[in-house]
Amino acid sequence: MTQNKIWIDEICNNSRYGLQGEIIVKHNSKYQEIIILDTKDYGMALMLDGCWMTTDQGEKYYHECLVHPALSSLKNPSKILIIGGGDGGTLRECLKYKKVNYLDLVEIDEDVIKISKKYLKSIGGESWSDKRLKININDGFQWVKNIKKNYYDAIIIDSSDPSYFSNKLFSSEFYLECKRILKKNGILATQSASPESFKRIHIEIYLSLKKLFKNCATMYSFVPFYPSGLWSWTFASDTENDFLKNNYEEIKPIEKSCEIWNYKFQEGAFKMIPSKILREISILENDN
């Protein structure tokens, strides 16, 4: 790294989450400002419109938790939809499952994929050329409306935080379409923001999904440089059985390939619900 190091902060509410490094890319796409910062401790870091999306060294805390609770609970995770996921991390984790034979990745911003392929090689890597992958440059909300019912085994929503163009991906209307295009035993997984920095949004995501699906549960863990560090992922399905019970024979090699996720970690993370969140959810549920 040269001497041109600067600090870049994500400002969320009244707090800053900062990394020091050299700016490698600063580009305005049709949708957003894209920055790649070369940092000493976290490798390349991707920022979209002022929010940290991922870092070479921290991304596994996020992508492993988004994908494995969902895919490892399915007997036959064959057809998968990823909404967003332009850095390739969610894709990489999904492709670890041999039973996945088709994967649609729907990303609205083509430039995020182009830049990630070039500068975040350690994240997407070879996954981008996997024959099972079909990249669709499209709006995720429109995409789900146009798919026939009972189509996917899993839908994985790897969105940015709510903003003027990602808001729709947090709406009940969108979740209802997802439910329609999921197979009977299918599962939806979504990043569900920070219970600390985005408490209202976090609770809304859970309650919206809980209304629509028979089973719904949230797991909590840490993601470096995301606001407050404490993050969450919510899973929903209409199966009669507890979808959090893992019955997948490929699970051991997948656990071995992961840096963060394993089944025991998952069990704990689903129980790690902050008391204040439990209380608020219970009050809101009783109000309705």
User: Which residues of this chain interact with ligand SPD, rule CB under 6 A?
Assistant: 51, 53-54, 62, 85, 87, 89-90, 158, 160-161, 191, 226
Q: Which of 85/195 has CB closer to ligand SPD?
A: 85
Closest to ligand SPD by CB, 85 vs 140, is 85
Least spacing, CB of residue 43 vs ligand SPD, in Å: 14
The neighbour count for residue 199, using CB atoms within 10 Å, is 16
Sign for the CA dihedral angle at 267, 46, 31, 129 comes to negative
The C-alpha angle with vertex 242 and arms to 241 and 245, in degrees rounded to 5, equals 115
Q: How many CB atoms lie within 10 A of CB 285?
A: 12
* DSSP tag of 218: E
Residue listed under structure tokens 């440089």:
225
Is the Cβ of residue 191 or residue 248 nearer to ligand SPD in the bound state?
191
Q: Closer to ligand SPD at the Cβ: 90 or 248?
A: 90
| Residue from 158, 161, 238, 242 carrying the catalytic annotation | 158
CB of 29 to ligand SPD, least distance (A): 15
Judge whether 49 counts as a catalytic residue. Answer: no
Nearest-approach distance from CB 86 to ligand SPD, in angstroms: 7
Token pair 């390939």 in the structure block, residue:
257
- As a whole number of angstroms, the distance between CA 210 and CA 236 comes to 7
**What is the three-state SS of 246-284?**
CCCCCHHHHHHHCCCCCHHHHHHHHHCCCHHHHHHHHHH
What are the residue numbers of the active site? 158
